Each structure stands twice: as C-alpha cells, then as structure tokens.
Amino acid sequence: MKEFLVKTRSRFEMVDITEMVKSAAADASLQDGICHIFIPHTTAAVTINENADPAVPEDILNELDKVVPFEHNYAHSEGNSAAHIKASIIGASEMVLVENGKLCLGRWQSIFFCEFDGPRTRKFWVKTIKHF
C-alpha cells in the first residue's frame, strides 16, 4: 500500500490525483490488476469524472452545494455536517483496472480527491492488487 499527501487550498476543491495513482501502479510494477484508492477521512472523498474541461469539477461542487448547503440547521456541533454528507454521497473509495501497465480510464476521465472541509493536508492510500 502506498500513502500520498494532498494539500488542498480551499474549503471545497477537486484535486486531480491521477498521476499519483499511476505512480503507485508503476512503483508496484503492476501490469494487470486493480488500483484501489481509499480516502481515510470523513469529510473528503474520491471520484472519477471528466478533467478535459475545468468547468465540470466546478459544476459538480456547485451542484453538491445546492443539494447539501454549507449553512443549514445541522445538529453536528463542529459546523462541518455538510462536508460529512457530501463525502458520504461521493464515497471513500474507487477501483481502477490496470491492463498492460496502464490505468484503464476513459478518454476524458481522471481521478479526483474531493475536499469538502479544507484547506487541509490530507492523505489517501492506493493498494495495488495483481491479477494472476
């Protein structure tokens, strides 16, 4: 398993971590198998989506904020309930197939670390699983 750090710059942000995941596969000499990406935080998440147009991650964050607004009548005393809810909606893990040493992502796809309670220094883990 490999651990990576991500320094987020704002409260809500989507950071492209595709190259870091690629490096985990390369470091493990993974030719065929799976990269499992896991976020060990309750106010952050991971997703796969378009990275060709920077408006797409922005639209995702804006629409999530409409569905789960930061300001609301939440009971959680820390004031970050919206971040917990958004992280639960998006999810804490993704799996990406690896074939011939390359991540099997669609033409426009990238892997994003989703920050909902930043800025912070966060971590994520990548576990490579070889296909035999």
Q: How many Cβ atoms sit within 10 Å of the Cβ of residue 47?
A: 17
Lowest mean pLDDT among 24-33, 47-56, 58-67, 72-81: 72-81
Token digits for 12? 């809500």
Q: What is the number of helices (H) and of strands (E) in the chain?
A: 3, 8
**Model pLDDT, residue 131:** 86
pLDDT of residue 92 exceeding 80, the answer is yes
**Model pLDDT, residue 71:** 82
pLDDT of residue 89 exceeding 90, the answer is yes
**Model pLDDT, residue 77:** 84
Nearest to 118 by CA among 82, 94, 90: 82
Do 64 and 86 form a contact (C-beta atoms < 8 A)? Answer: yes
Q: Could you tell me the domains of the chain?
A: 2-130 (2.60.120.460)
Q: What letter represents residue 21's amino acid?
A: V
- The answer, as to whether pTM is greater than 0.85, is yes
pLDDT of residue 132 exceeding 80, the answer is no
**Model pLDDT, residue 14:** 98
